[in-house]
Structure 1
Amino acid sequence: MPSDISAATAATLAPLFDEYRAHYGETPFPARTTAWLETHLAAGRLTAYTAGTEGFITVTVQPASLRLSTAWVIRDLYVRPGHRRRGTARSLLTHVITEARAAGALRVSLQTETDNAGALALYESLGFYRVTGLELLNLSL
């Protein structure tokens, strides 16, 4: 069973966040990771929650212009390999959904790779649905 969910500080999140980055092929860089997290958490551009040392989730809050509301966007979700399939990701997601609902958000959104069947099944079991008719576009700088 996952640990209690709590707000994360840069210091508590940095080791897990660097492990997450390494999982996706990035070179661990503890000092830079901590500084990056401190900057974005302190500025309110990013909110993070941890489930002990099992995993974490990060969220941004964005204006939902047309509806004059907000939308919460899950940016990162990571559970350490030894803790997967034990409910940690579900607990982190449920916590964010509850927080967003309490804050009056219009929706919670996320994205994942199309072949990430396990994650897609989890998200859909929580009520997330695939959005069709939209394309994700990037401009590399």
Structure 2
Amino acid sequence: MTTTIVPIGYTHPAFDQLAALFDDYRVHYGQPSSPETTRSWLHDQLEQHRLSAAAAVRADDVCGFITVMTMPASLMLGTAWSIRDLYVAPRHRRSGIANALLQHTIHNARSAGARRVSLQTETDNAPALRLYTELGFQPVTGLELLNHSFDSTGQEPGEAA
């Protein structure tokens, strides 16, 4: 079956399918399903150009997606692309879709003059790590990922409202 990778904006006819699959992705990672809120959030991210998205389409069915942020790479005086989300519907896994989405993104980043493409995943996600290293992604040593988090009301965890 032929897979086509297509950019999906908030006005694209497949946007609603993408938003539904994005909600499934969130549920996969333990978040409660919230189709309308997810759709609205994704619409805003794409409309404000905070994210760009591409979808893998088979027979008019969105079966996977990737989202990317473009950021300044200050020291290199260029740009870096950061893959934020990559998800393939369970029934389409192990069929080359994630590989195709990643190859599409790497190609587009190179064509746009980006200096690097980065991503992050859990250390125990062996299938993803294997795919990423096969495509040339290398672990970054000497750096730590640090977060300063807020809850949905803007409060720090444990902070009195």
1:5 maps to which residue?
5
Structure that is richer in helix per residue? 1
Which deviates more from structure 2 when the two are superposed, residues 9-18 or residues 59-68? 9-18
CA deviation map 1:55-90 (0-9, x unaligned): 100000000001110000000000111111110000
Runs of 4+ in 1 over 4 A off after TM superposition: none
Q: Partners of 2:39 and 2:84 in 1: how far apart? A: 17
Asked whether the 8 Å contact 1:2–1:54 carries over to 2, the reply is: no
- Counting only pairs closer than 5 Å after superposition, residues 78-97 of structure 1 correspond to structure 2 as 78-97=87-106
With a CA cutoff of 8 Å and minimum separation of 6, indicate the structure with the bigger relative contact order.
Answer: 1
Max Rg structure? 2
1:49 maps to which residue?
54
Q: CA deviation at 1:27?
A: 1.0
CA deviation map 1:25-48 (0-9, x unaligned): 111111111110111101111000
Give aligned-pair identity as a percent.
Answer: 58
- CA 120–77 in structure 1, closer or farther in 2 if over 3 Å, else same: same
SS of 1:50's partner is strand
Q: Partners of 1:105 and 1:115 in 2: how far apart? A: 29
CA RMSD of aligned residues (A): 1.0
Q: What runs of 5+ residues in structure 1 fail to find an aligned partner?
A: none
TM-score computed with the length of structure 1 as normaliser: 0.96
1:138 maps to which residue?
147
- CA 2–36 in structure 1, closer or farther in 2 if over 3 Å, else same: farther
Q: What runs of 5+ residues in structure 2 fail to find an aligned partner?
A: 10-14, 151-161
1:16 maps to which residue?
21
CA deviation map 1:92-128 (0-9, x unaligned): 0000000000000000000000011100000000000
Q: CA deviation at 1:12?
A: 3.4
- Counting only pairs closer than 5 Å after superposition, residues 106-125 of structure 1 correspond to structure 2 as 106-125=115-134
Q: CA deviation at 1:11?
A: 2.5
